[in-house]
Amino acid sequence: MGIVTILALVVAVCVLAWYAQGWALRAFDVYHAAFRRQAEDRLGEFFLFLDPAQLWAANLVACGGAALVLYVLTGNVWLGMLIGAAVLLAPRFLVARLRRVRLARFDAQLPDLLLSLAGALRAGSGVQAALRQLVDQSPAPLAQEFGLMLREQRMGVSFEQALAQLYQRVPTEGVGLLVSALNITVQSGGNLAETLERIAATLRARLHLLGRVRALTSQGRLQAWVMAALPFVLAGALEWLDPDSMALLWTTPAGWGVLATVVVLELVGVVFIRRIVNIQI
């Protein structure tokens, strides 16, 4: 009976390992496809035209290098695999973060452009001529997006379609208001300069209120980071003071379960705090 039980356990472990390998390979393929798609779409928004295959190869090299270095330093295979997986997933979060920063910078630059455009319209200039003059003097990313819109028009794209593509690339509230105002003016006429000035004033008030909200919620965001980092800092300090006792946490299944529980609870706490302080305006 003992031999039969052992054989059954071995067969069960082999079957589970086979299915786990299949799931891991499918997940890897899905992430690979998502990575290439994001590299083609998102990096194009930053006007960075890089080869997705080369970026994927660099990401794999960074993942393997980080896992190998951590394994050499600590001798822990699981910790090396965890850090390698984190490095593998990091580019997607980094690109998303850079996109949010770029959109926020675009929103901060847009009211000045609208006021300058309104002044040019009151002086008798046309919309497209005024945009060409203002884009040359504007900083990035505003100059990049409006410059691309003007180049699309020179290649034969209609003004309405160019505005729609601009809003597709920069889906913010300010761009939506600008696109609606320009489309309405082109179709039915009206005092576009006054409309642009009102939109600029609205966006400035919104940015001011958003800055106040960020200042008031900065303590909560800092608390989230401190709460997330404190257990790991404490674990590092205890590892330095008493490595023999902490070895049970790194080398035993019970210790791995504790670490997994801590990581899950930390992530849940950070998500809750960020939801609380993320006030939509």
Q: How far apart are CA 208 and CA 35, in angstroms?
A: 36
Cα–Cα separations (whole angstroms), residue 168 to 40, 161, 165? 16, 10, 5
Query: Coil, helix or strand for 125?
Result: coil
Domain positions in the chain are: 206-281
Residue 208 dihedral angles phi and psi, to the nearest 5° = -65, -45
The CA distance from 140 to 252, in Å, is 53
Give dist(CA 65, CA 60) in Å, integer: 8
Peptide bond into 141 cis (omega under 30): yes
Q: What pLDDT was estimated at residue 99?
A: 83
Place of tokens 């330093």: 73
- Position 37 scores a pLDDT of 73
Please give the Cα distance from 163 to 149 (Å, whole number): 7
Contact status, residue 46 vs residue 98, Cβ threshold 8 Å: yes
- Write down the residue that tokens 């699981």 correspond to: 78
Q: pLDDT value at position 252?
A: 80
Query: Across the 281 residues of the chain, what is the mean pLDDT of every consecutive 10-residue run?
Result: 63 65 69 70 64 75 81 74 80 82 88 88 82 83 86 86 88 86 77 86 88 80 80 83 80 80 83 75 64
31 Cβ neighbours under 8 A, 6+ residues apart: 88, 89
Q: Which two tokens stand for residue 166?
A: 């601009």
